[in-house]
Amino acid sequence: MASHSQRPRSERLVVGITGRIGSGKTTVGRHLESIYGFQYLRYSAVLADWQVQDSDLQKVGWEVMAGGLQAELNERLIRQIKSDSDVVVDGLRHPLDFEALSNKFSRSFQLIYIESPSQLRFERLRAKGKYSDFASFQGADWHPVEQQIDLLRAKAALVMSNETSLSALYARADEAISLFRKEGQL
């Protein structure tokens, strides 16, 4: 069998990660990149490269969504996906993101929804210096660009809870990859 980085396109794994801000999406994505050699992509990085005039990515993301440009954002992200590697995509926020990746990669695509209580998510982000108070966190968490995320939960192949330790989150991510490979015979 080919190594993870040299899998034929029909055998590779494309994992999307979604969840509310601070739920652990980036942590899981970076884990898959470092442990399994996945190509790591973030919707926010694609958005920032495309719409560089404003540093408020939530505002820009909402302008893209409300302006009917979500399909263009997805095309830009998909163009960055390497054809010869497993891929993890961090930050799906809209059902159109799911549809674009699912249509493009069919059975190779799996979505993980990560959930975590809002107070815990706030505490994690505050520790990283991102929000000084719960009200500012709630404002970001309930920004219009974030409102479609919960619709993706029902589309997820796996819902992961992130309420305990980092090692437990990594173990759940490892189990997910094992499960996806086994189910898809990848």
Written as one letter, the residue type at 121 is R
> Residue 63: which domain range?
4-184
Q: Which of 128, 122, 162, 154 is nearest to 29 (CA)?
A: 162
Could you tell me the CATH number of the domain that includes residue 30?
3.40.50.300
Give just the sign of the alpha carbon dihedral 42, 43, 49, 55. Answer: negative
User: Could you tell me the CA-to-CA distances from 3 to 38, 42, 87 in Å, in that order?
Assistant: 11, 24, 14
pLDDT digits (tens), the chain, 186 positions? 334 444 444 578 999 999 999 999 999 999 999 999 999 999 888 877 765 555 566 566 666 666 667 788 888 899 999 988 999 999 998 899 999 999 999 889 999 999 999 999 999 999 999 999 999 999 999 988 888 999 999 999 999 999 999 999 999 999 999 999 887 644
Which residue, 119, 81, 73, is CA-closest to 97? 73
CA distance 72 to 65: 10
pLDDT at residue 184, as a whole number = 60
CA distances 83 to 13, 109, 181, Å, are 11, 14, 18
* This prediction's pTM: 0.87
CB 159 within 8 A of CB 113: yes
Q: What is the pLDDT of residue 46?
A: 80
Q: Please give the Cα distance from 85 to 129 (Å, whole number).
A: 34
Q: What does DSSP assign to residue 106?
A: G
Predicted local distance difference test score (pLDDT) of residue 81? 93
- Whole-number Å distance between alpha carbons of 116 and 110: 20
Tally of structural domains, the chain: 1
